[in-house]
Structure 1
Amino acid sequence: MIHPALVRKQRMILSILFALIILTIFIGMGLGYSSLSYDRLIPTLLGQGTFKEEFVLFSIRLPRMVITLLAGMALALSGAILQGITRNDLADPGIVGINSGAGVAIAVFFLFFPIKAGSFVYLLPLVAFLGALLTAGLIYLFAYNRSSGLQPVKLVLTGVGFSMALSGIMIVLISSAEREKVDFIAKWLVGNIWGTDWPFIWAILPWLTILIPFTLYKANRLNLLSLSEPVAIGVGVSIEKERIILLLTAVSLAASAVSVTGGIAFIGLMAPHIAKALVGPRNQLFLPIAIFIGGWLLLLADTIGRNLVDPAGIPAGIVVALIGAPYFMYLLMRK
């Protein structure tokens, strides 16, 4: 049973994070290459703005912020699942190669399978999922030992190796591509938020609507998988079955996110750690907080990045990496 004081603390933290997200969205709506006056935001939201104000807000700012919020939530939850099933604090979909697998699949699809724009948006998450799934499967096979099971440290090292190899494949793919297509893939690689229209939201939203509640439902299984294998087996958990189901969930979440945001790492590493530091390691408590932290971190990174340099800004992936890389080194040295 979870102590009522911890539940109250969780609710308070969730309320604070929700307020931070709303505040960041409000500030972000007024900032940008075409700035909007803050005293005009409420009238514009209520449909009383000029054509320019409504176009900037509803066609440019809001869809981009919603996309970054949803993608950050997906990446944070994916990282939390990976850390739980591997019992490794350094696991993250960007670090262990899942994002790179999704990226190669998207690059191949984009370069060699021309398709109508309307279908392209909705097929991207599926293509990214297939690429990420193949990569995750190979990483799992290389890290698995028949006598000792899945080796967490070996999984991270294998994932890093796959990530570097897949980045090399990506460079080979774009070396002979057309200039316009190279520009798109280059932006994807650095984590530039490119899916900034409402159809991209409808493409990613069904994945999160299904997978977030499913993961929260599986929170107790994640608690047991975080323990040693003999203990988990002793309480009746089918370890390999649960790991595969949750790995598929983590891959799906990461793939749906990076299909519209590009190759963003470290969100899935930082958010679960911060959440655990706030309420402890129990998944029922920290998973909702990690989801909110991940969404807010990516939203904040994109808001800062797009306003630092006009007009293009700095990709959100670079801003996140500037924060996440030192944090990764800190964790590496601590462990």
Structure 2
Amino acid sequence: MDTLKKTGRRKFLFTSIFLSILIVVLFFISLNMGVVRIAPLDVIKTLLGMGTERDRLILVDFRLPGMVLALLIGAGLAVSGAILQGVSKNELADPGILGINTGAGFAVILFIFFFQGSMANLSTSGVFIMPLFALFGALGAALIIYVLAWKKGLDPVRLILVGIGVNAGFGAAIIIFQLKMNPQDFMQAAVWLSGDIWGANWKFVWALAPWILLLIIYAVYKSHALNILNLGDQLAIGLGTKVEHERRILLVVAVALAGLIVAAGGGIAFLGLVAPHIARRMVGPKHQLLIPITSLLGALLLLLADTIGKNILAPSEIPVGVVVSILSAPYFIYLLMKIK
């Protein structure tokens, strides 16, 4: 048993270091790329405070905030998916598929429609208020799904079917309000809903980063409860766990992460589904190992998608959510074929 634990820890440590190195390398490559290319040596000089004013403006004011947001969004969305899969014991659970992202998106669309007027000009207060709208929208969607899916417990198939229905309902409501927007706001909202890291400024980073990081840390702290819930309700109750209490807390954490992420990156689908599955193959099902690796994988995958989206058709950009869907769709189809 001790040998197995040591092997698991070594595997976890190696995987963590490997993924962290990949993130750092990709982060540095991403800083070099773009419509205006900056040589690696100039990037290093600028980061050390010795670069030109032009390079500092491009890197510090424009590229870095978007890349930091990509890392935060990827990590948070992946952890949200891991929690939902653990709580529901459903391999297809994901904030995008279940309708949580769409509920958060609907709340943000309402905020834009009634209070903001234009997504391009966020006021200082709007940067902090919009994540709250997204959070309430995600919580509302999760509550509807939980109530409708509950029938002497959470049945995995019922959860997915209810989630798809709620997703469709909120999607229709979003379209109704989009059609009432002026053409400029309509196009901005359409791009954002497809998954676009549009609030790429430090103000938005500081508004979201503390909450996302705290929720991820709390998810790691509650990983033991997720492990027990995976044993089944009867066994978990026998071990003295307050099953419904723990389930609700974990659902709130997952939904809060999804809501904050929708405020920053729109409707990014599949990442919360794929990252936990890949992480599970790397380090196994124990959530104290799974959640940290999932967060690193999510951050890496979204940074990769963001880099591809910004450079493959430069100067035009492909929304990061579209790139994630293209990269993840084959794996999603594989999962559907695998599950009986």
Aligned 1:1-335 pairs, distance under 5 A: 3-114=5-116, 117-145=123-151, 148-335=152-339
Please list the CA deviations of residues 3-32 of structure 1 after superposition, one character each: whole Å capped at 9, or x if unmatched.
Answer: 011111101100010000000110000100
Kindly provide the amino acid, as one letter, of the partner of residue 142 in structure 1: L
Distance 1:209 1:326 in 2: 30
Whole-Å separation in 2 of the counterparts to 1:247 and 1:290: 17
Secondary structure of 1:195's counterpart equals: coil
Uncovered stretches (5+) of structure 1, i.e. residues with no partner: none
CA distance in 2, matches of 1:323, 1:161: 25
C-alpha displacement of 1:163 = 1.1
CA shift, 1:130, in A, is 0.1
Task: Give the Å deviation of 1:39.
Answer: 2.0
* C-alpha distance in structure 1 between counterparts of 2:166 and 2:205, whole Å: 29
Q: How many residues align?
A: 333
Q: What is the CA–CA distance in structure 1 between the aligned matches of 2:35 and 2:338, rounded to whole Å? A: 42
> What is the CA–CA distance in structure 2 between the aligned matches of 1:42 and 1:260, rounded to whole Å?
28
1:41-95: per-residue Cα shift (whole Å, max 9, x none)? 1111111111111110001111110000000000000000000000000001111
Equivalent position amino acid for 1:241 in 2: H
**For residues 118 and 52 of structure 1, what CA distance do their matches in structure 2 show?**
26
Residue type of the partner of 1:67?
Answer: L
Secondary structure in structure 1 of the residue aligned to 2:116: coil
Q: Which amino acid aligns with 2:313?
A: V
Equivalents in 2 of 1:58, 1:114: separation in Å? 27
Write the distance in 1 (CA, Å) between the matches of 2:135 and 2:63: 27
Asked if the contact 1:207–1:252 (Cα under 8 Å) also holds between the matched residues in 2, the reply is: no
- Give the superposed CA RMSD: 1.2
Distance 1:313 1:114, change over 3 A: closer
Q: CA deviation at 1:292?
A: 0.2
Structure 2 alignment gaps of length 5 or more: none
TM-score (norm 1): 0.97
Question: Which letter maps to 1:55?
Answer: L
Task: Please tell me the residue identity of whatever aligns with 2:173.
Answer: I
Contact 1:139 1:155 in 2 (8 A): yes
